[in-house]
């Protein structure tokens, strides 16, 4: 069964727009778990424009499923992880002013750096995943860092799916097969939605988990949060 981890950044964005506590991020996480999600994902950024560092601390005490914290491994981020000890840390090379994640790691260029970071995160008891573009050539150096998993950056798939699903999937399937051969676990995320998720899940071998936030929260505005979580869970079945 492929796990669904719900990214609640957009819920925090809505809260921050008014500067108060509605919607309540911790209650949203509790409800999303109750509605059937397998995990909660957050991606704190230095400007705290959505999830705040204090949110991560608070969520660490109440998330009962898998807690996945994403981010660029700055000293501040690593200190937060050391304090909160999430289930999984997904390392993403996003710039401090990035609107959203827009590229994966070049594991060939950053292998030595990532090896040190992965070892540090393992010392905190965290599983580690590296955010990667769909490129089988990156798998050997990803594995050499000691990471447990990779997360495929699926924006390109989501865009190309509308025109040619088979072609859109091809580099992701090739990378997934290389990851399986290397003994790496496989996650995926970014722009996956109710239109393209089932086809992706059905055709990517070894997929363990997807992380979905923006599309799921948008759908929840029309469909309701409980119903939407269950629809995404259903899309992962085949």
The residues assigned a catalytic role are: 43, 70, 190
Question: For the purposes of burial, counting CB atoms within 10 Å of the CB of 63, is it exposed (0-12), middle (13-18) or buried (19 or more)?
Answer: buried
Indicate the angle between helix axes 214-223 and 9-18, nearest 10 degrees: 70
User: How far is residue 166's CA from residue 17's CA, in Å, rounded to a whole number?
Assistant: 40
Q: Which of 203, 237, 236, 229 is nearest to 7 (CA)?
A: 229
Cβ atoms of 1 and 198 within 8 Å: the answer is no
Continuous segment of H or E residues that includes residue 167: helix 165-182
Q: Are 232 and 216 contacting, i.e. CB atoms less than 8 angstroms apart?
A: yes
Structure tokens at 88: 């999984």
Q: Closest Cα to residue 189, out of 46, 49, 36, 9?
A: 9
Residue 141 to residues 113, 134, 145, 175, 197, Cα–Cα distance (Å): 12, 14, 7, 13, 28
The torsion angles phi and psi of 151, rounded to 5 degrees, stand at -115, 120
Cα-based distances in Å from 223 to 8, 80, 140, 232: 17, 34, 42, 12
Count of Cβ atoms closer than 10 Å to residue 85 Cβ: 14
């Amino acid at each position: 069964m492929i796990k669904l981890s719900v990214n609640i950044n957009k819920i925090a964005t809505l809260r921050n727009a008014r500067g108060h506590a509605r919607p309540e991020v911790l209650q949203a996480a509790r409800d999303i778990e109750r509605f059937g999600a397998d995990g909660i994902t957050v991606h704190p950024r230095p400007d705290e424009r959505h999830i705040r560092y204090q949110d991560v601390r608070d969520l660490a005490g109440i998330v009962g499923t898998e807690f996945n914290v994403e981010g660029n491994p700055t000293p501040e981020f690593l200190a937060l992880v050391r304090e909160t000890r999430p289930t999984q840390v997904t390392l993403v090379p996003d710039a401090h002013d990035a609107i959203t994640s827009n590229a994966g790691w070049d594991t060939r260029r950053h292998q030595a750096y990532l090896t040190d970071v992965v070892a540090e995160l393992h010392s905190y008891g965290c599983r580690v995943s590296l955010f990667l573009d769909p490129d089988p050539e990156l798998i050997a150096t990803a594995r050499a860092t000691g990471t447990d998993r990779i997360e495929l950056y699926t924006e390109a798939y989501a865009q190309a799916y509308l025109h040619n699903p088979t072609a859109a999937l091809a580099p992701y399937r090739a990378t997934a097969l290389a990851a399986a051969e290397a003994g790496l676990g496989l996650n995926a995320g970014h722009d996956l939605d109710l239109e393209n998720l089932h086809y992706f899940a059905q055709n990517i071998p070894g997929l363990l988990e997807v992380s979905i936030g923006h599309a799921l929260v948008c759908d929840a505005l029309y469909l309701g949060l409980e119903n939407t979580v269950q629809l995404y869970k259903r899309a992962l079945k085949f």
